[in-house]
Amino acid sequence: MPRPGYIVCSAAGAVDLYTNFVSCHNLMEIVEIVRIRPEEGSPPPASRPVVMRAIAMWIQEAEDAPEQSFEGQLVAFFPGLAEEVILADFEPFSFKGPVHRLIVTDLTISNFFGPGILRLECRIRRAGEATWLAQQGYSLFLKEQFPEPPASPSPQQPAGTLALPPGN
Residue 7 located in a structural domain: yes
Statement: residue 42 has pLDDT above 80: no
Is residue 156, in this structure, part of any structural domain at all?
no
- Assess if residue 162 is contained within a domain: no
Q: How far apart are CA 92 and CA 73, in angstroms?
A: 10
Q: Is residue 157 part of a domain?
A: no
Helix (H/G/I), strand (E/B), else coil: 66: coil
Three-state SS across 14-57? EECCCCCCEEEEEECCEEEEECCCCCCCCCCCCCCCEEEEEEEE
Sorted by sequence, the CB contacts under 8 Å of residue 117 that are 6+ apart come out as 79, 139, 140, 141, 142
Residue 57 lies in a domain: yes
pLDDT beyond 50 at 125: yes
pLDDT tens profile 61-120: 988 888 899 999 999 999 989 999 999 999 999 999 999 999 999 999 988 888 999 999
Q: Give the pTM.
A: 0.79
Q: What is the pLDDT of residues 134-150, one digit of tens each?
A: 999 999 999 988 766 66
Between β-strands 134-145 and 30-34, what pairing exists: parallel, antiparallel or unpaired? parallel
Q: What is the CATH number of the domain that holds 73?
A: 2.60.40.10
- Tell me whether strands 99-109 and 116-126 are parallel, antiparallel or unpaired: unpaired
Residue 44 has pLDDT above 70, yes or no: no
**How far is C-alpha 83 from the chain's CA centre?**
16
Q: Is the pLDDT of residue 37 over 80?
A: no
- How many domains in the chain? 1
